[in-house]
Structure 1
Amino acid sequence: MSIEIKAPTFPESVADGTVATWHKQPGEACVTDELIVDIETDKVVLEVVAPADGVLKEIVKGEGDTVLSEEVLAIFEAGAVASEAPAASAASQASADTSTTDAEKVGPAARKLIDENNLDASQIKGTGKNGGITKEDVQAYLSNRSAAPAAAAPKAAAAPTPALNIPTGERVEKRVPMTRLRATIAKRLVEAQQNAAMLTTYNEVNMKPVMELRKQYKDLFEKTHNGTRLGFMSFFVKATTEALKRFPGVNASLDGTDMVYHGYQDIGVAVSTDRGLMVPVLRDTDSMSLADVEATIADFGKRGRDGKLGMDDMQGGTFTITNGGIFGSLMSTPILNPPQTAILGMHKIQERPMAVNGQVVILPMMYLALSYDHRMIDGKEAVQFLVTVKDLLEDPARLLLEV
């Protein structure tokens, strides 16, 4: 029985997607729920799996092609096995080895890379069906070429004279097309800077109280909450939540000329992945415990690295926290995540000499940065918000008492 394999239903905010990678080729057997193809959208990579046991009969949309919601990607033959693939398909595959031209054996995504890098397709070894050249083959060829020394000149060519002093090495450039996700991130970041009156205010927080509390209870916390580890982010999320309740303007967003005040706190947490920066959202953080926050963030991080974050995970959000400190950043200016009007930047914890009651004391300090849209938030409100976060972190008991 033939089944049409279709693209997933995209949300209203996503117009279309791009076929990223075919994990199966025509004639190959599949089992139920086995990954067949990846569809890359502006926000996430969606996986399309086999609807049943059978054989992929025909690919309708090749790698690099743009697809719409529910558009047909391929034809699937349910119940068939690889050896039972249609005879016509087998015949065409057999003839491809002898009569198919190089152009016909190159997939759309691979052809795009070949053209952009001015490569000769005949020099690239194909690992696809019947020797077809895939995008991965081109990328491997580019990598090998950059690592290999310059190829020897043809025998007919005259050898260069020593006086020319031509270096034996090779200055290699690699051109890679920007992914849809990376292009969307770039577009949004530029728009955020162009369309907002962005300003950043800084403060610093003594992390010693939180570090001592964490050191005292981290083992008991992990044992009590089924292996969930106690980190610093949960303290920042809870302190930020309390500060957002006190300064609702920082938790608001702009919609044209309307200011939208949210009666809830949905905090996005920036997660760095191989595909780019993603911001999954913690929902209703006011009702979440420290353990809930840590477990959810850990799950976001794992699914982000595996490319499993969905559309629903990243939609919405009233405020964002980004932590450049995990990469060693001492100070930075975070960029707004529209339509939100503020974002909090965490940084590296660094021991510094501080004046405490007339004495110099070495304390673990962290710089905090709050970028905000001055159209919506006044400087006084932004500074008071950041000071509130600082005060709550330097006296964690206030989080429990809500004072």
Structure 2
Amino acid sequence: MSTDIKAPTFPESVQDGTLATWHKQPGEACSRDELIVDIETDKVVLEVVAPADGVISEVLKAEGDTIQSNEVIAKFDEGASGSGAGEKASEASEEKSSEPEAEPAASGDDKILSPAARKMADENNIDPASVKGTGKDGRVTKEDVMNHIKDGESKPAAPAPSASKAAEPAPMEAGERVEKRVPMTRLRKRIAERLLEATSSTAMLTTFNEVNMAPVMELRKQYKEKFEKVHNGTRLGFMGFFVKAATEALKRFPAVNASIDGDDVVYHGYQDIGVAVSTEKGLVVPILRNSENMSIAEVESTIRDFGKRAQAGKLSIDEMTGGTFTITNGGVFGSLLSTPILNLPQTAILGMHKIQERPMAVNGKVEIQPMMYLALSYDHRLIDGKDAVQFLVALKELLEDPARILLEI
């Protein structure tokens, strides 16, 4: 039974998508719920799986094509078995229709190829005349082309008897400047658009401070093992402390948690904190909903889950939509100081950085302390410098005395 394979239903915020990768080709066997194609939107990569056991009989959209919501992208034959099912059916019909004039040609374009074999030969720039056919009447099958490719890879090409050294391809010279041009992904395009929009449409300013991480590091060292046992393997990291400290500071300075909508200022009575996660395809920002109601253990386990699913492309669009404040940690890559760019329509973003031991004056004495620079980029149209600085100072005080986070003082 033939059925349609359709693109997923896109949310209202997503207009269309791009067909990224076909994981299965026509005639190739598929198992139920096996991944067959990836569709990339400007927010997330969506996966389309096989509706049942069978084979793809026809592909209607090629890689790179623009896809609309619920658009038919392929035809699927349920119950068909074997990777050669589609090919054999094509070969049988071709043989039947060409029987009266079937004269196996010895070489050139007259050589009989199955549709799958011709497609593979074209994709690999192979002359059909050079492939030995093992099918009926000398027909070249897909397996013949595959064997020809394998033989070509395993056997070094013999030089022509009369070939001169001048005819041989010149070896690549040292220092040769090689360039590679690849199209930008939809996700990368969208990131670029939003970054440009943030820098051109806001009055963005960054203020800095530094925090002594020794108290948090000592607390983490003291309770790390016990924390992991009590909370079923959840590790105690630094992000839990920063999210909870930021949540408390946002309560004290509502403007930092607000957003601008046209000529209106929207003050949010909740704290939805986005945590920037780097993936191979670009930066994504999943949201911790109602972080004010989350414990440090819940924050840590949720962020860990976000990280795993982000790398696998499993985050949903809803999980990356919204947010009232963002935290980005460039310190994991070694960044000592940076100025993060706003994540619109939010009006502030916190940048964490590398923890580095530096000499600090403590009670009139020079001591080596693990210090971290903090950067708060904010929209000066809404947030005054005073509020931004005081927000960062409050964050610093909470982190340098972690008990205040629990006591909310």
Instruction: Indicate the residue corresponding to 1:95 in structure 2.
Output: 114
Give the direction of change, closer, same or farther, for the CA distance of 1:216–1:94 in structure 2 (3 Å limit). same
Q: Which amino acid aligns with 2:86?
A: A
Instruction: Indicate the residue corresponding to 1:149 in structure 2.
Output: none
**Cα offset, 1:357, TM superposition:** 1.3
1:238 corresponds to 2:244: yes
Q: Which amino acid aligns with 1:217?
A: Y
**Cα offset, 1:171, TM superposition:** 2.0
Query: What are the Cα deviations for residues 93-120 of structure 1, in whole angstroms up to 9, with x where unaligned?
Result: 9434776697xx45xxxxxxxxxxxxxx
Give the direction of change, closer, same or farther, for the CA distance of 1:101–1:329 in structure 2 (3 Å limit). closer
**Cα offset, 1:60, TM superposition:** 0.9
Give the direction of change, closer, same or farther, for the CA distance of 1:100–1:219 in structure 2 (3 Å limit). closer
Instruction: Indicate the residue corresponding to 1:48 in structure 2.
Output: 48
Identity %: 70
**Cα offset, 1:207, TM superposition:** 0.4
1:227 corresponds to 2:233: yes
**Cα offset, 1:241, TM superposition:** 0.2
1:57 corresponds to 2:57: yes
SS of 2:20's equivalent in the other structure is: strand
Selected match of 1:191 from 183, 197, 206? 197
CA–CA distance in structure 2, aligned partners of residues 375 and 315 of structure 1: 23
Instruction: Indicate the residue corresponding to 2:74 in structure 1.
Output: 74
Give the direction of change, closer, same or farther, for the CA distance of 1:364–1:169 in structure 2 (3 Å limit). closer
Question: Greater Rg, structure 1 or structure 2?
Answer: 2
Give the direction of change, closer, same or farther, for the CA distance of 1:158–1:33 in structure 2 (3 Å limit). closer
1:24 corresponds to 2:55: no
Selected match of 1:256 from 255, 262, 265? 262
SS of 2:323's equivalent in the other structure is: coil
Selected match of 1:122 from 107, 125, 145? 125
Instruction: Indicate the residue corresponding to 1:117 in structure 2.
Output: none
Give the direction of change, closer, same or farther, for the CA distance of 1:94–1:359 in structure 2 (3 Å limit). same
Q: Which amino acid aligns with 2:284?
A: M
CA–CA distance in structure 1, aligned partners of residues 360 and 165 of structure 2: 73
Q: Superposed, which structure 2 residues align to 1:161-180 within 5 Å?
A: 167=173, 170-180=176-186
Q: Which amino acid aligns with 1:40?
A: E
Bigger mean CA deviation after superposition, 246-255 or 78-87? 78-87
CA–CA distance in structure 2, aligned partners of residues 220 and 258 of structure 1: 47
Q: Which amino acid aligns with 2:363?
A: N
CA–CA distance in structure 2, aligned partners of residues 330 and 257 of structure 1: 37
Q: Which amino acid aligns with 2:213?
A: M
Q: Which amino acid aligns with 2:209?
A: N
CA–CA distance in structure 1, aligned partners of residues 187 and 77 of structure 2: 32
Q: Superposed, which structure 2 residues align to 1:238-387 within 5 Å?
A: 238-387=244-393
CA–CA distance in structure 1, aligned partners of residues 360 and 376 of structure 2: 22
Q: Which amino acid aligns with 2:365?
A: Q
**Cα offset, 1:130, TM superposition:** 4.5
8 Å CA contact retained: 2:55, 2:80 = yes
CA–CA distance in structure 1, aligned partners of residues 202 and 225 of structure 2: 44
Gap runs ≥5 in structure 2: 95-111, 128-140, 150-162
Instruction: Indicate the residue corresponding to 1:4 in structure 2.
Output: 4
8 Å CA contact retained: 2:239, 2:300 = yes
8 Å CA contact retained: 2:90, 2:114 = no
Gap runs ≥5 in structure 1: 107-120, 138-153, 161-165
SS of 1:73's equivalent in the other structure is: strand
CA–CA distance in structure 2, aligned partners of residues 220 and 159 of structure 1: 68
SS of 1:122's equivalent in the other structure is: coil
8 Å CA contact retained: 2:87, 2:116 = no
CA–CA distance in structure 1, aligned partners of residues 79 and 126 of structure 2: 39
**Cα offset, 1:181, TM superposition:** 0.6
Instruction: Indicate the residue corresponding to 1:212 in structure 2.
Output: 218
**Cα offset, 1:177, TM superposition:** 1.1
**Cα offset, 1:251, TM superposition:** 0.4
Give the direction of change, closer, same or farther, for the CA distance of 1:358–1:382 in structure 2 (3 Å limit). same
